[in-house]
Amino acid sequence: MGLRPHQTCSAWVWERATRLGTGYPFRQAARLLSDLLGGAIDHRVVWRLLRRAGELRRAHQEQARSEMFDLGLAPEDPEGESPVMVVTEIDGVVLRRQRPKGLMEARIAVAYTGKRVVSPTARHRKRLVTGKGVVAGLWAEGSAGQVIYAWLSRSVGVHRARHVLVSGDGAEWIPVLVRNWFPDASFQLDHYHLKVRLREVAGDPGRARRWIEWTLGGHWRKVERSMASLVRRGKLSAEVARETRSFLELNAPAIWAFQSLLDRGAPPELCTRGSGVIEHNVDLVAARRMKRQGMYWSRDGANDMLAMRALAADPLAWRAWWKEVGA
């Protein structure tokens, strides 16, 4: 069987247990694994095997971060041409914490190098991203940007791309992360989240339309003056007005950032003004498995699950990693 000392199962069983554990609750995964093996498997065995895989995966991510930012080593360049453009979409997802009871926010990043049309004859053309890489975790303050950039350099070659666009919903930590750790990247504010926020604050549909038109037209200071008037009349909280002003001031340069990439010859299909890819992957990587009713996570347990769910998002990367680990 090729077992090494102290190895409690074969590489195939380890991989199957981890794959089932990433897709199903542990008790259900254990029943499925028991059917595969023809013997009773406890759900805690599945949990331990997944944790072991997650710890190893996270160690590889930390190694990539350390080599780039502590030792100053560039990732090995794979065969083939450098990507013309890499788009990275970043978002956060809130999970329920076990002890102490509360909430914690994980970071998820999805990068891709192209898009292809699924069916050119379809009435509504659907595009799929290609050259995709996903990384997710609950990293210590200040290290998220390093891990994300180092790992995406390995997986999609973001450090070699001629054009780099990073998009997000405008949460304060995202443009700061891009400015600190994505050199020469353009940050693009997601227009959908911008419009949703302005509608929520405006309250009135007509006022919301005016605010959106002013903001997209580069005149967000008019929104600031309109909010000040509402505050004086007692129709808007001063705190909400301050938060919205800070949001607009921080993200105003990013409203039409993709235009500068178009002017420099970047592929038009990748010069996006939205972040639909990350929204879908937040659901795939985290929500479907980790935000079900009654689910609470330890920080380490959530980190291991996120690492393996991100890997499972790419079947080719999953098989390649397990081939390396199981060798």
**Averaged pLDDT for residues 28-48:** 96
pLDDT at 79: 66
d(CA 197, CA 208): 10
Instruction: Check pLDDT > 80 for residue 141.
Output: no
The reported pLDDT for the residue numbered 37 is: 93
Backbone φ, ψ for residue 129 (5° rounding) = -80, 150
Comparing 275 with 78, which gets the higher pLDDT?
275
CA 267, CA 265: separation in Å to the nearest integer?
7
**The tokens of 130 are what?**
């290609």
If you average pLDDT over every residue of the chain, what do you get? 93
- Could you read off the pLDDT of 211-268 as tens digits, one per residue? 999 999 999 999 999 999 999 999 999 999 999 999 999 999 999 999 999 999 999 9
Rounded-to-integer distance, Cα 204 and Cα 200, Å:
9
Of the CA atoms within 13 Å of residue 5, those in its CB half-sphere come to: 0
Judge if pTM exceeds 0.85. yes
pLDDT of residue 4: 74
User: Taking the alpha carbons of 262, 268, 274, 277 in that order, is the dihedral positive or negative?
Assistant: negative
* Residue 324 structure tokens: 């390396």
User: Do the bridges between strand 163-168 and strand 133-137 make them parallel or antiparallel, or are there none, so unpaired?
Assistant: unpaired
Q: Is the pLDDT of residue 207 over 70?
A: yes
Please state whether the peptide bond connecting residue 120 to the residue before it is cis, i.e. omega within 30 degrees of 0. Answer: no
Task: Choose among 196, 186, 187: nearest CA to 168.
Answer: 187
Average pLDDT over residues 110-138: 88
pLDDT of residue 286: 96
Is the pLDDT score of 23 beyond 70? yes
Residues 165-174, mean pLDDT to the nearest whole number? 93
Q: What is the DSSP letter of 287?
A: I
As a whole number of angstroms, the distance between CA 186 and CA 179 comes to 9
Q: 30-69 b/e with 16+ CB inside 10 Å = b?
A: bebbbeeeeeebebebbbebbbebbeebbebbbebbeebb
Handedness of CA 157, 159, 162, 163 (dihedral sign): positive
Tokens for 304? 């291991």
Centroid of chain to Cα 251: 19
Whether 124 has a pLDDT exceeding 90, the answer reads no
